[in-house]
Amino acid sequence: MAEELTKAHELAERQREIGVAEFFSRNRHLLGFDNKRKALLTTIKEAVDNSLDACEEANILPEVIVEVVDMQNDRFRVIVEDNGPGIVKKQIPKIFAKLLYGSKFHSMKQARGQQGIGISASVMYAQLTTGKPAKITSKISPTQPAHHYELRIDTQHNKPEIVKEETAEWKKEHGTRIELDIEASYLGGMQSVDEYLKQTAITNPHATIIFTNPKAEQIIFPRAIEAMPKEPKSILPHPYGVELGILINMLRNTEARTLQSFLVNSFSRVSSVAAKQICENAALLPAAKPSEMSREAAEQLMRGIQKTKLMMPPTDCISPIGAEALEKGLRKEVNAEFYASVSRSPSVYRGNPFVIEAGIAYGGNQDSEGTVRLLRFANRVPLLYQQGACAIARSVINTAWRSYGLSQSQGALPLGPCTILVHIASVWVPFTSESKEAIAHYPEIIKEVKLALQECGRKLSSYVRKKRNIQTESKRRSYIETYIPHVSSALKELIGLSAKDEERAKILLKELLEKHRGKLESVEFDPAKNVEYDKEFAAIGKEEKEGKKERQTTLKEGDADE
């Protein structure tokens, strides 16, 4: 029987594998390249994140140089250079020109990067919009030469394509430099590169960032703390957080020969006793061979894990910023009357430990109209987009701010002259998308953020209450002073006081009435009181007064996503 040529065969002709790079090049918005303005930010963000991660891993105080050069016609050259440990020659092409390649995905450790997509996505975006290859220079030791590469991504096969490769002279002892030509637009405002770098400086006081903007102006964010943050430790995944598919993979690939040793060696907080307990709860033999286990057995194992009481994961893998450093950063950015900050003790969602930190700056020269300003950070990285979709915003909305002295309508951010900062540090920050803009709504996270905010809120409310009392009192005093002259002038009319006596009566009356009220504490905002406030720093990224035109252009381009 001759093979019939069916429609399915016809369709089969057109069916083929989709390269991951190909997929992302079509869906670049998933990676944060939705529009020109955001593309510039994302490119710089990915490079800076990598630089900071690299420096911290090598225990080097970071010094990151960022340069954006206007190449005309909406094209910009982005240069990011660090003093990190450098990258060995053979890894350079894969790291920069292969998607989903990296060191961080498989390790349970607090880091900025997670998926191994970021920088190679930027390279791909550059290639897509300007056709230019990425230029990478890296040096790992003063005694070795630097390597220079020009790279492209073979999007079909998600493979690096080396355009040029050479050794080069570089004065730096070690470090990495990337240069990308991309289509972009450079604008100020709350979602600008300037704002991103400034916020990065707030939560990374141990880093120096030198930024040269397209107007060739140099902005330096100098290091504020001469000490590295506590190095986060890498931990094994906790059994509570593992998913079935991953568990099956782990079982297949483990070198352990028994189920018991697999459990002990692949997970944190599983002792051999606990492993036995899991096996018992799963009705599996501890001596079973992991590589021979069926899908059904893996599912049994999952249920066994859930049934077994295990210690929560270790939390020393997290390196929070600390309440004090956080407040210091806020003081630099906002000149307020009152500050409060808190660093919560670690908590766990789906087996992943995390820490929530929050800070509040109230009053001062902040705008008292409109909603509060919310600054969100994840593993020290500022989150500038997708505020509405973020668990942090949800928590802020869910907190009852009215009892803390801010006004708030149902289901909305509070109103008032206030900046709220929230930082989540975790071995695995659950973002809602690859562009890493919003935190997923895990109830544990929402709850912890809320608790942190409430802690700050309580401090805030006692300040706001005190301020209100003093204001009532001073109103009352000015009330007194309004009527004193009427008392004395009436006395003058009644018993013919001289002008001098009238004056005297006024003074005596004032003394008399204030004697009973005690000394009045001043709550007038003193802009000079906060010595840490840096006016120029605070102005960075803020649109100028006449920047309204700019904003309109922004809207036209569909740039403003919030």
Choosing from 216, 285, 311, 487, the residue that interacts with another protein (CB under 8 A) is 487
Q: Does 505 bind another protein (CB under 8 A)?
A: yes
Distance CA 179, CA 119 (A): 11
Between 61 and 470, CB nearer to another protein: 470
Interface stretch with another protein, choices 235-243, 282-290, 335-343, 506-514 (CB under 8 A): 506-514
Q: In 295-315, which positions are buried (b, 16+ CB within 10 angstroms) versus exposed (e)?
A: eebbebbbebbeebebeebeb
Question: At how many degrees (to 10) do helices 295-307 and 272-282 cross?
Answer: 120
Q: Does 159 bind another protein (CB under 8 A)?
A: no
Choosing from 218, 245, 479, 529, the residue that interacts with another protein (CB under 8 A) is 479
Site string for another protein, 509-538 (x = CB under 8 A): x-xxx--xx---------------------
Interface stretch with another protein, choices 71-79, 307-315, 389-397, 504-512 (CB under 8 A): 504-512
At closest approach, how far in Å is the CB of 492 from another protein?
A: 9
Tokens describing residue 223: 């290091």
| Positions in 18-57 near another protein (CB under 8 A) | none
Choosing from 244, 283, 412, 508, the residue that interacts with another protein (CB under 8 A) is 508
Tokens describing residue 546: 């006449």
Between 233 and 477, CB nearer to another protein: 477
Integer Rg of the chain from CA: 30
The residue whose two tokens read 């020969």 is 257
Q: Does 491 bind another protein (CB under 8 A)?
A: yes
At closest approach, how far in Å is the CB of 524 from another protein?
A: 21
Tokens describing residue 204: 């990374």
Distance CA 335, CA 338 (A): 9
Choosing from 20, 30, 312, 480, the residue that interacts with another protein (CB under 8 A) is 480
Residues 199, 48: contact at Cβ < 8 Å?
Answer: no
CA distances from 452 to 156, 200, 396 (A): 47, 21, 10
Between 443 and 518, CB nearer to another protein: 518
Q: Does 495 bind another protein (CB under 8 A)?
A: yes
Between 15 and 482, CB nearer to another protein: 482
Q: Does 182 bind another protein (CB under 8 A)?
A: no
| Positions in 419-478 near another protein (CB under 8 A) | 476-477
Q: Does 499 bind another protein (CB under 8 A)?
A: no
Q: Does 58 bind another protein (CB under 8 A)?
A: no
Q: In 416-429, which positions are buried (b, 16+ CB within 10 angstroms) versus exposed (e)?
A: bbbbbbbbbbbbbb
Beta-strand (E) ranges in 118-241?
134-139, 146-154, 159-168, 175-183, 208-212, 218-221
Length of the chain: 562
The residue whose two tokens read 């809207």 is 555
At closest approach, how far in Å is the CB of 483 from another protein?
A: 4
Query: How many residues bind another protein, per CB under 8 A?
Result: 23
Pick the closest to residue 319 from 417, 476, 466, 426 (CA basis): 426
Between 265 and 471, CB nearer to another protein: 471
Between 508 and 555, CB nearer to another protein: 508
Beta bridge partners of 534: none
Between 16 and 486, CB nearer to another protein: 486
At closest approach, how far in Å is the CB of 499 from another protein?
A: 15
Residues 142, 173: contact at Cβ < 8 Å?
Answer: yes
Beta-strand (E) ranges in 228-351?
338-343, 347-349
DSSP 383: E
| Positions in 324-353 near another protein (CB under 8 A) | none
Distance CA 328, CA 446 (A): 25
Between 11 and 494, CB nearer to another protein: 494
Q: Which residues bind another protein (CB under 8 A)?
A: 476-477, 479-480, 482-484, 486-487, 490-491, 493-495, 497, 505, 508-509, 511-513, 516-517
